[in-house]
Structure 1
Amino acid sequence: MNIKAQAERPRPLHTLKPLLLGLLAAYQLGAAGLARAEDLKPEEAPPKPAAEQKPEKLAPVSVTGSRVQAGRLQISGEELSKVAGAGGDPVRALQSLPGVVATSDGNAAPAIRGSRPGDNSYYIDFLPVGYVFHLGGFVSTVHSDLVQQFDLYTGAFGPEYDDVHGGIVDVQLRKPRSDKFGGAINTSLTGAELLLEGPVNDKQSFYFAAKRSYFDLFIRGKKTDEDSGLIYAAPKYHDYQGRYLWKLNPDNELSFYALGAADQISYSVPADTRLGQQQPALVGDSSARYGSNTQALVWDSRISPQISNKLALGHWSSSNRSKAGLAADVDIKTENLFLREQLRLRVAEDHELTLGTILFSQKYKLGLDMLDARCTEFDPSCDISGGQRVKLQENLSVNYANLYAKDRWQISSDLAATVGLHLTRDGYLKQNYVEPRLGLEWRALKNTTLTLALGKHNEFPDGAQVLPGIGNPKLEHVRARAAVLGVNQRLDEGWSVKAEAYVKKLTGFGISDPTLNYINGGSGDASGLELFVKKDAINNSKFSGWASVSLSRAQRKNDLSGQQFRFEYDQPVVVNLVGSYKHSERWQFGAKWSYHSGNRYTPVLGSRTDANGRILPVYGDINSERLPDYHRLDLRADWTVSPRLSYFFELINAYGHENVEGYQYSADYKTRKKEVGFGAMPNVGLSYKF
């Protein structure tokens, strides 16, 4: 059993919480929304007879419905929850969409178009959140029965979103039911979910959902992994989501949200294990305990038929207590107040103006005692045990602000433009960024739309790189320029085709420096072609699903040395085939076949002995070799016993292919053996609704 914790950098709480997760991931691994910003929707009039209907404009300001945008994919939670191999978790199923790179079998956090999983931003019902995956990516923190819709932005997204250069995952949860009290109980081999919801009176309703793992109920006490020799206890996680909805009147709704999640892992590294010999600083007990809680008030109001407003006030807190042998002892506590405001105005028949802001007031209490090895992706020979010990006790107050404006202009019946401006004020690094965004949509034919999106973006540096004494508080943000060109074709019987080409240029990555600790000295680029063919289940169609194909290239460059290398998650070919067949009202069958080029890795060419007698690896060129190609078939069957009771049955990696995820080297680095992902593995789940 390999216990892994992928560092997921939370967004948009930009600053120093990533330090803990980054450090812990380095020691443990390296040692070996806001719902979608809805269209401003007037009340719908009854449909006109066919003879009176006029040709529809290209997503005009006054027409409801989804808009076609470059770099954006919209898909329902119900569709994603049925994807084979995801265990009914819609967020895990994001890996089957175009533009998304799978990092490993046990990690669902998406790497998007040449960026890392930590370079994404997440929103849930207008609320910016950063903690959406348990155990670094094993399962999401969102209850599966609540997810209504996803918007996935893979590049050049609009100015209303936070400062990242990866992607945006914008999750819209459904409202609580208002007809009667009810709920659901969901179980699978990994955990159980509970949902309670219903009306309080004719204007108020609520839901409360919770999830808990039960690995610790099956794996009692401490166990020893036969391969690595590590001594571990079963990991634990839980989460909850609550919403109280009050419909004040037809034009105003008030919602109170309570969201929370927690994770816990622990293990020990004996001195005589391979890992203990390679990294003596990791010998001893290691653990990670992370908890996050958010409370927020969201007010939706329609001021007039031409003006709507959405306001969120929230409090977010977290505690992070982690230890990695003798290498690190980290204690981070955060308190954050945030405000998000978005005003939408129809200033003219063909103009819709959006104005908004996201403000953060953050307080950090940092306690660090660690070996500082200054690890970055530009230096493969990062030796944790050889780092210098640093200690930091610091209380920080940070203010952060985003301001944005966006105008959507319906130039003609077939042409629309969206022009936006995004302003960032970083109160910690004392920096300002002004970035333009542009989107074009042209309906060239009745069912054919061409799209273009251009944008500049920025992202706060990795947290440890800007801490006083450890990092460089004068680092600048990572900068990105993105361009996306697409064509969208609607076909008969629910078929659609979407193709996109993209280019992204990145500058300002942090690299280690002997004098300043870190400097902005790294760059990168990513480019690719993507095809997405989708079949919706309409007109009593029994078959639905999609096929996505991505051809891409991503690389990094050390601008000081001139060294250029492929990005760790550079996967030139990614293919996902997802299908679902509704056999009857009781049975539905699904399958997913995934293929991608293996991840890049830096090979070990030999070994050397330092002055203290430690055996250290000699590395080859960064990411110069590639793991074997990955492919896997997952099967799923859904059995609806009654309107209340249903089951799902899954067989993960049905033909048992051995997918290599990395290599473990012997203590002297002379031999290595494969680290592989999931073998053929069953999963079964039950859902009971009441």
Structure 2
Amino acid sequence: MLEGRVVEAATASPVGSATVVLRGTRVGTVANDDGRFVLGGLPAGSARIVVGRLGYRTDTLTVTIRSGDTTRLTVRLQPATAALQTVKVAAAATERDQFRLSGSPSVVSVRGETLKRVPVIGEPDVLRVVQLLPGVVATNDFTAGYNVRGGESDQNLVLLDGYPIYNPFHLGGLFGTFIDETVAEFELLPGGIPARYGSRLSSVLSVVPKAEARSGVHGAASVSVLASTLSLGGTVRGTTSWNVAARRTYADRFVSLLSDRQLPYYFTDMQAHVRHQLRGGGTLSATAYRGSDVLDASLEAFGDSSQAGGGRILFDWGNTLLGVAYTQPLGARWGGDSTRVMQRLSWTGFNTTLDLGDGSLRFVNRLGDSRAWGELSRWRGTHETLVGYEWSGLRTRYDINAAASDDPILAVGQRPSAASVYVDHTVRGARTVTRVGMRGETVTGTGWTSLSPRLSFKWFATPNRAFTVAAGRTTQWTPALRNEQAPIRIFDFWLTADRNTPVASAWQGSAGGEQWFGGSRFVRLEGWIKRYGSLPSSNLFNDPDVLGDEFIVTTGTSYGADVLVRQLERERVSGWIAYSYAVSWRDGADGRFAPVQDRRHNLNVVTSFRPGGVWSYGVRVGVGTGTPFTDVVGQLVRRRYDPITNSFSTGNQDVSREPIGGVRNGARFPLFQRMDVSVTRTKPGKRTWAPYFSIVNAYNARNVFTYFFDYSDNPPTRTAISQFPFIPTAGVSVSW
């Protein structure tokens, strides 16, 4: 390990932000404000160290690194000035590095700044942008949930700083839980998932929080029609960075100021992230998140009820996350050029409570996930090896209680543990990148163990053109109990696999190619296929009093092709064109049917135009074929026989007509189309102001959300209920 300080030669004053790099490699660090630096992971022996900073002459020194010891060094830089012509400096884009170095096909990265350029509903939203990427389907406007390559919406692993979040939605799925000001970037893996990721079938969404590199206190505040947000961050002594953020909706407060009516709903988000650089080159970090939705209403106040309990309804749900992570470079060990160890510990909780009338009927779902994740990484030449483990202690409760009953209607508790070990090995050759992995898994209480191989291979025909194939098996033991037929995703009840509910599995493969044009534009085409085994699907006719019939077991297949044309955020015009073709079906006891996310054709065009100056413009155009639904083909009138009058009547039934459904998901909604536009004025300065204005569904397209059938008319009528109408929205943010 090398430890030292960079100072000015004449005055011995510290030179902060100097770069210290091992010559001929990408191993390096940056000196803090006091000029001090620590560079770990260096092999023993003679090493050439390059130290430089703008305004000083670059110095190259030869030092001797001793195994198991610390070499100390003081670097004295000479001031230097030079008159330069205009130069343009641009770092290689993350996507370009992924193209050269990663064996994962189809991975898409989006930086936080890109979120602000996409037309929004209320405010920028990570999950709304994810819906616009290739291979992703949103079933309707009213949900920020998403389905990836034919999978169900609960089959996506969502990570915040590497920690899982089970239900990242607000307002019945209308908005995502991530505060946009805290997002540095996010990455979506819709296929070719490495062996280090498990517990979900379809995709991995990894959200990386910002790390404030500037000293002092900096922040941003924003106000939109939806919520107000405040985020603060800074760096202490160049070694500890911190960020905190909070968001709250205020529609309930706003309505109460203007009317005696109520809108008794709000949601809040709070997030914190701390990262400390240790003297030995390691890092220690902590991440915390709390999101909560609360609907607390008296229906009597609306004039709708005066029933027992005042007609009071309480509905709340939310996520809690606490996690710590430690990483430490270990230098040249176990035959490697460098090694690193990582350990994460976390607790993730999700809970939801629905109380109808002060306990008259109460539904409760609790899920707790205590997790440990450790990994050892070793690099040697062109080889990279990851060996790791993951353990989860799961605790779930699903209870239904009624005040009129001394005993619970339903009480289900599960306490399984899931354990995984994996190895992932990558070899980067002159024209190939090969990654081979294996993941072994088991879940207590199921009698289930599994080996899940993962493989990807990339071949570079030219430095700018590559072809990739990938295949692998994924598994999932935490299904969400929901009615996929329902057009709105109100909430999820999470369960775990047991003797009645099997562990789901899927084999998936893909093949495609990618062509780059320069350093900021590329085209990607990929075909894929997935085959599902033992896939739990919600039983639409389950009996609440019977334990074990919540799911029916299905199998299925999905296949399709994705196209992505992307211009990275460097030019006046940036954005992407994403097109997906997909076919999905499920096979159950009642035959074959299409899942509700089976949208055959889906096209999204997202672009941002910055002509110069303070104005920027964004446009999103979406077109998609209709998703399937179960049509109503008739109506049944329930009648009772009256022996006194010797006649049939409907009696005192509240609903005398019962709809009769046709073939499950045998009909389809019409074509979906929508255009959103936005304009932003950014005025930089000591404080940067950025007001924006957006229009959702700019030409007021009447996209069908669902149908209402009325068989009391003759002939029967069908009325369409539309999705989002023309919606203007505005907001402003200020950063300093």
Superposed pair shares fold, TM > 0.5: yes
1:432 alignment counterpart: 449
Report how far residue 520 of structure 1 moved.
5.7
The equivalent of 1:262 in structure 2 is 292
Among 336, 345, 351, the residue aligned to 2:369: 336
Is this contact kept in 2: 1:238–1:262, CA < 8 A? yes
CA distance in 1, matches of 2:481, 2:676: 39
> Which fold has the larger relative contact order, with Cα–Cα distance below 8 Å and residues 6 or more apart in sequence?
1
2:187 corresponds to which residue?
151
Aligned equivalents of 2:208 and 2:392: distance in 1?
A: 22
Q: Where does residue 699 of structure 2 map in the other structure?
A: 655
Change (3 A) 1:222 1:537: closer
> Residue 328 of structure 2 is aligned with which of 301, 309, 312?
301
Once the two structures are TM-superposed, the CA of residue 98 in structure 1 deviates from its matched residue by 0.4
Counterparts of 1:91-170 in structure 2, within 5 Å, are 91-170=127-206
Answer whether contact 2:624 2:672 (CA < 8 A) is retained.
yes
% same residue: 21
Q: Which residue number in structure 1 is paired with residue 384 of structure 2?
A: 352
Letter in 1 for 2:127: V
Matched, 1:494 2:527: no
The yes-or-no answer on 1:441 pairing with 2:441 is no
Question: Among residues 14, 24, 27, which one is paired with 1:42 in the alignment?
Answer: 27
Indicate the residue corresponding to 1:77 in structure 2: 112
Q: Counterparts of 1:288-687 in structure 2 under 5 Å?
A: 288-304=315-331, 306-323=338-355, 329-346=362-379, 348-369=380-401, 391-410=409-428, 412-460=429-477, 462=479, 473-492=499-518, 494-510=520-536, 512=539, 517=549, 521-538=553-570, 541-558=571-588, 560-561=589-590, 563-610=591-638, 613=650, 614-643=656-685, 644-666=688-710, 670-687=716-733
TM-score (normalised: structure 2): 0.75
In the alignment, residue 528 of structure 2 is paired with which amino acid?
Y
CA distance in structure 2 between the partners assigned to 1:193 and 1:393 by the alignment? 39
Distance 1:176 1:611, change over 3 A: farther
| Change over 3 Å in CA distance of 1:313–1:543 after alignment to 2 | same
CA positional deviation for 1:684: 0.9
- Pairing 1:169-180 to 2, within 5 Å after superposition: 169-180=205-216
The CA deviation at 1:619 is 0.7
Structure 1 contact 476–520 (Cα < 8 Å) conserved: no
Question: Displacement, 1:362?
Answer: 2.9
Distance of 1:120 and 1:404 partners within structure 2: 20
SS in 2 for 1:136: helix
Given the superposition, is the C-alpha separation of residues 569 and 267 from structure 1 closer, same or farther in structure 2, using an over 3 Å criterion? farther
Q: 1:435 to 1:327 in 2, by over 3 A?
A: farther
Q: In the alignment, which residue of structure 1 is the partner of 2:243? A: 207
Q: Structure 1 residues 455 and 41 mapped into 2: Cα distance closer, same or farther (>3 Å)?
A: farther
Instruction: Give the SS at the match of 1:85.
Output: coil
How far 1:63 moved relative to its partner? 11
Q: Distance in 1 between matches of 2:314 and 2:26?
A: 49
Please, which moves more after superposition, 174-183 or 103-112? 174-183
- Partners of 2:148 and 2:415 lie apart in 1 by 31
Distance change in 2, residues 1:68/1:423 (3 Å)? closer
Q: C-alpha distance in 1, partners of 2:501/2:372?
A: 26
Deviation string, structure 1 residues 546-571 (Cα, Å, up to 9, x no partner): 1111111111111x34x212221111
Structural RMSD (CA):
3.4
574-583 or 135-144, which deviates more? 135-144
Q: Deviations over 1:633-668 (max 9, x none)?
A: 111111012332111111111111111111233486
Q: CA deviation at 1:154?
A: 0.9
| Structure 1 residues 505 and 232: CA distance shift in structure 2, 3 A | farther
TM alignment of 1:175-194, pairs within 5 A: 175-194=211-230
| 1:508–1:520 CA contact under 8 A, matched in 2 | no
Normalised by the length of structure 1, the TM-score is: 0.80
Q: CA deviation at 1:92?
A: 1.9
Task: State the match for 2:10 in structure 1.
Answer: none
Aligned pair in 2 of structure 1 residues 503, 147: CA closer, same or farther (>3 Å)?
same
Deviations 1:111-157 (A, max 9, x none): 11111221111111121222322123322222212212221111231
Deviations 1:218-276 (A, max 9, x none): 3339999xxxxxx9834311111101222112511111221110012367899xx9x99
C-alpha distance in structure 2 between counterparts of 1:360 and 1:115, whole Å: 23
Q: Contact 1:531–1:548 (CA<8 Å) still a contact in 2?
A: yes
Structure 2 match to 1:8: none
Relative to 1, partners in 2 of residues 1:390 and 1:596: Cα closer, same or farther, differing over 3 Å?
farther
User: Please, which moves more after superposition, 153-162 or 584-593?
Assistant: 153-162
Distance (Å, rounded) in 2 between the aligned partners of 1:368 and 1:436: 40
Structure 2: gaps (5+ residues):
1-24, 30-48, 52-93, 332-336, 483-492, 641-649, 651-655
SS of match in other structure, 2:110: strand
Output the CA distance in 1 between the equivalents of 2:355 and 2:598.
31
Distance 1:223-1:114 versus aligned 2 partners, 3 A rule:
farther
Residue by residue over 1:51-108, the C-alpha shift from the partner in whole angstroms, topping out at 9 and shown as x without a partner, is xxxxxxxx9xx99975252232222222233112353223321111101101221212
Paired with 1:446 and 1:76, the residues of 2 have a C-alpha distance of 25
| CA distance in 2: counterparts of 1:132 and 1:641, whole angstroms | 33
Q: Is the 8 A contact 2:165 2:319 kept in 1?
A: no
Is this contact kept in 1: 2:265–2:295, CA < 8 A? yes
Residues 424 and 436 in structure 2, CA contact (< 8 A), matched pair in contact too: yes
Are the structure 2 counterparts of residues 41 and 299 from structure 1 closer, same or farther at C-alpha, using a change threshold of 3 Å?
farther
Q: Are the equivalent residues in 1 in contact too, given 2:103–2:433 (CA < 8 A)? A: no
Give the conservation status (yes or no) of the 8 Å contact 1:198–1:205.
yes
Q: Is the 8 A contact 2:692 2:731 kept in 1?
A: yes
- C-alpha separation in 2, matches of 1:269 and 1:605: 35
Aligned residues: 598
Task: Say which SS state the counterpart of residue 622 (structure 1) adopts.
Answer: coil
Q: Which runs of 5+ in 1 are unaligned?
A: 1-39, 48-58, 225-230, 277-282, 371-388
